[in-house]
Structure 1
Amino acid sequence: MKKNLLKQTTVAALLASTVLSFSPVAMGASSLDQSVNTVKSQLSKATTHYVNASLDGKLATSNELYPALNTLKNNYQSVRKSVVSSKLTSSQKQAKLKELDAVYNQKVSGGLVPYIDAYNYAIKYLAPIMKNIQVAQDRNDFATVEKEYHKLSYQLKGRTAILYRFSGKEARDLLLQSYKKPADAKRDELMVPVTIYMSLLEIKDFITAGKMTEAKAEYAEVEALLTRLPSAANNKFITALLDEVAKVKTALGETPDSAQQQILNGKVSEFVKILNTTQGSVATAAVTGTNSVTVTIVKTDATEADYVSYLGQGFYTQFVRELGVTAVNGHAPLSLEAAAYVESLKPKGVVTLADMKGKTLNIPVTVNNGSALNVNFSVTFK
């Protein structure tokens, strides 16, 4: 009797478990698992919507990505609600929600969404500024170039971090290559021209106010910057800017130099700075006029070796490199003929550097910083 009762109880239990396994609750859990896994699979592929395009050298546009983003968001929210409203235990719900959220945060919040934000930023801010600058440069519109340059600098200084916030190295590199790097290059290209333009405006204000001393001091700063300008060769914007510099020089009551002479003036100033940094213990140089430098010998016991070192290895080498010298008296500057010519300029009786005091070397040279310019360069020793 007991055996029959035990057998009946066992069968009843098995039957109950079989019924429960096909109950709506159990079926719902199985269906829910499938839904969760399907959405997780979709979410895990979120970044491929823009990464795959970048592998082909293309940037996926935000308009192309919005449909995929909206679908992913809707599916994610829908399955999340299903989990919350299911009959799973609290711990089971939390586990599934954690799985979903982890994939969503990594692939959508950390990938697709910030990529779209970065792309939108690039086309809304960087691209229009770059276009405005190019149009203004083509028109030699210095005021607009200055305004847009400051806008670009502001963006590059504090806002372009958005371009680095999404996952996917290939897409990120392509976006930077397409927008950030050209913007960086344009800012660097315009830094000196814009500075010069702003100084010219200030000089004009000084002239209008009758403050000629201040105007000339500011103009000296402009001349020092000319050597750092991009080449004027095939650059109409820089050529036009140099014309503005010449006009200001005329307004100051001075004879304006040619564009190439202006560039050379700036290079001479830089040359003197470098020479004094490297050779200052032997002699100091100073610009004393157009194409003219005065060298003050400071080493009291200057020897013949100092003459060779200062003039041959120090002065002449820097002179050729920094000024863009392409010929000395018609000879290649580093040729034996040029060396022989420079040696022939050495006054009779000069052995040491100290012997050069009171003497002047006049060197006919050709410089080329965009186009050839022939000048007689004067070096006076004291």
Structure 2
Amino acid sequence: MRILVAFGTRPEIIKLGPVCKALQNAGAELDVFWSGQHIELAAGLLDFFGITVTHNGTNIVDEQGLAGKFGRMTEQVEKILRANSYDWIIVQGDTATAAAAATAGFMGRVPVAHVEAGLRTGDLYSPFPEEFNRRLIGQATTLHFPPTHEARSNLIREGVPAKDIVMVGNTVVDALLYARAKIGTNYTPIDADVAALPTDKKLVLATMHRRENIGSPMRNVLRALRTLANDGDKVIALPVHLNPEVRADVMKYLGDAPNVHLLAPLQYPDFVYLLDHAWTVVTDSGGVQEEAPTFGLQILITRESTERPEVVKAGFGKLVGSNYDAIVKGVRQLTAGDERQLLDAPNPFGRGDAAERIVARIMHRKLHNNHAHAA
């Protein structure tokens, strides 16, 4: 069986890394298209998961507009599909790469498998453009792999036949367990700044990058982090996103703040290390919402809504938006006392076998749908 996996961002590598490994172990002939959306953020990740890129996107990041990037990616994936005979194309999540590749697959009548299917906020503009991408991918998909019951229910409500849906958990849990085992207990961080973080203070990990939060919402979060750093018992670790607007505000509000460590974008093993030592996380990231429960972490989500409501229902996450007072109060509550307030509960996003289940289903699926067959 010949399969094309398409991705272009750091989270996609992390979440599709276990799938690529499982495909190789199952004897599939694996090709990989890399669009290069996150070139700097992908440092070391491909090697970490043992992924070999066979097709590189060209001149995609040079395109200024979202529609232009989408068009170039769709065209380039289409050419790859035409030149080869694939049984499946696999995409993950809600990126422009995933949406473009799924569109090219559908147009080329190559069955699309969607990893992390069925996530919805109900608001087409939040997050933007990810919610639109998810719905578009859903229309092009032959086999949907939702991570949770809620995601599966979303697909059923949208009319997807139950036979085309397989709930498997989230592959990010597979990746985390793989990384945790690989780095071991005596890990020395790759980044010297991460290794130099003080160990006599309570570590608060913060991440921010959402396009819809840039501006006033993000500045409120940064003000809250500055206040928390001034408490004296905490250290704020913030990997600064490469977006120039994000960087400008971070430097303005936190550049000279005591007890704040502004880090370069983290290599994945360093990120796992920090999660393993954090007291809490302040984040607008979807991926962190899935990752934190594996470590028992309670986190504050700086968004107005989440397509991962399971993290809130399970008690691992609290939606605080950009509310200054809620962020300050929440972090202070979670850093009170002398011990980390970890929850002893299972991760609602899976147990670490999602990739194996995905590959087992793909490798044995016999397509009888005239609207979705290999080119």
Q: Same fold (TM over 0.5)?
A: no
Scaled by the length of structure 1, what TM-score is found? 0.23
Structure 2 length normalisation: TM-score? Answer: 0.23
Identify the structure with the greater strand proportion.
2
Q: More relative contact order in 1 or in 2 (CA 8 Å, sep 6+)? A: 2
Higher share in helix: 1
